[in-house]
Amino acid sequence: MKRVGLVLLVANCLIGLAGLAAPAPSKWQGPAAELAEQVAGIVGPGQVRLTIRNASSISTDEIPKIRTLLEEDLKAHGVLTSGAESANAIRVTLSENTRERLWVAEVIEGNQRQVAMVHVEPEMVRQAQAGTGLTLRKQSVLTTKDPVLAALETGEGLVVVEPEEIVIYSHAAEGWREQKRVAIGQRKPLPRDPRGVIVPSRGGEGFEAFVAGMVCDGSYAKGTMDGGWTVRCREGDDPWQLSVPLSLQTAATKQSENIEVTPLKAFYNSSRDYFTGVLAPSLGADLPQFYTAAIVPRPAGSGSLAALLVNGIDGKVQLTETSVLKPVSGARDWGSDFAVLNTGCGAGAPVVASGSGEAIADSLRAYDLPAQEAIPASAPLAMDGTVMALWTAPDGKSVLAVVRTPANQGAANEYEVDRVVASCNE
Partner 1 sequence: MNMRWIVLSQAAMNEHPTPSASSGQALATKIQAWRRWGTLCLLAALALHAEARTRPHYGGTLRVEMEGDAWQQNVTQAGGLGGPMARRLIFDGLTRVDLDGTVRPSLAVRWTSENSDRRWQFWLRPGVHFQDGSPLNVAVVATSLTGSCGAACPWTAVRAVGSSVVFTSDSPMPNLPTLLAGDDFSIVHFASTGADAAPQPTPLLGSFVGTGAFEAVGFSSGVLTLMANDSCWEGRPFLDKIEVTGHKSIRDQWLDLSLGRADLVEVPAEQLRQAREQRLTVVVSGPASLLTLAVADGGVLSDANLRAAIALAVDRSSLSNVIFQKQGEITASLLPAALTGYGFLFPADRDVNKARELRGGLTPPALTISTDGGAQMQLASQRIALNLREAGFNVQVAPPGPVHHADMVLLRLTLASNQPQAALESLLRGVGVGSPVVEDTSAGLYKVEREFLQTHTLVPLLYLPRAYALGGRVRDLSLSADGMPLLADVSLQDAP
User: What is the binding site for partner 1 (CB under 8 A)?
Assistant: 55, 93, 95-98, 100-102, 104, 106, 115-117, 119, 189-194, 271-274, 291, 311-317, 327, 329-336, 353, 356, 358, 360, 373, 406-413
Whole-number minimum distance, CB 10 to partner 1, in Å?
Answer: 48
Rank residues 246 and 340 by Cβ distance to partner 1 and give the closer one: 340
Rounded CA gap, 66 and 27, in Å?
A: 10
Smallest distance from the beta carbon of 173 to partner 1, in angstroms? 28
Residues 229-234: contacts with CB under 8 Å, at least 24 apart = 229/156, 229/157, 229/168, 229/179, 229/180, 231/166, 231/168, 231/180, 231/182, 233/166, 233/182, 233/183, 233/184, 233/185
Q: Is 18 left (phi over 0), alpha (psi -120 to 50) or beta?
A: alpha
Compute the least distance from the CB of residue 120 to partner 1, in Å: 10
CB 4, min distance to partner 1, A: 53
CB 273 → partner 1: shortest distance, Å? 6
Residue 15 Cβ vs partner 1, minimum distance, rounded to whole Å: 41
Comparing CB distances to partner 1, the nearer of 261 and 371 is 371
What's the CA gap between 292 and 418, in Å, rounded? 19
Minimal distance in Å, beta carbon 3 to partner 1? Answer: 54
- Residue with smaller CB distance to partner 1, 13 or 360: 360
CB-count exposure of residue 16 (10 Å: 0-12, 13-18, 19+) = exposed
Secondary structure letter of residue 313 according to DSSP = T
Radius of gyration in angstroms for the set of CA atoms belonging to the chain, rounded to a whole number = 30
Judged by beta carbon, residue 243 or residue 292, the one nearer partner 1 is 292
Q: Which is nearer to partner 1, 53 or 171 (CB)?
A: 53
User: Among residues 228 and 335, whose Cβ is nearest to partner 1?
Assistant: 335
User: Of the candidates 402, 404, 354, which has an alpha carbon nearest to the alpha carbon of residue 382?
Assistant: 354
- Specify the residue, 249 or 413, whose C-beta has the smaller distance to partner 1: 413
Tell which phi-psi region holds residue 203, choosing left (phi > 0), alpha (psi between -120 and 50) or beta: alpha
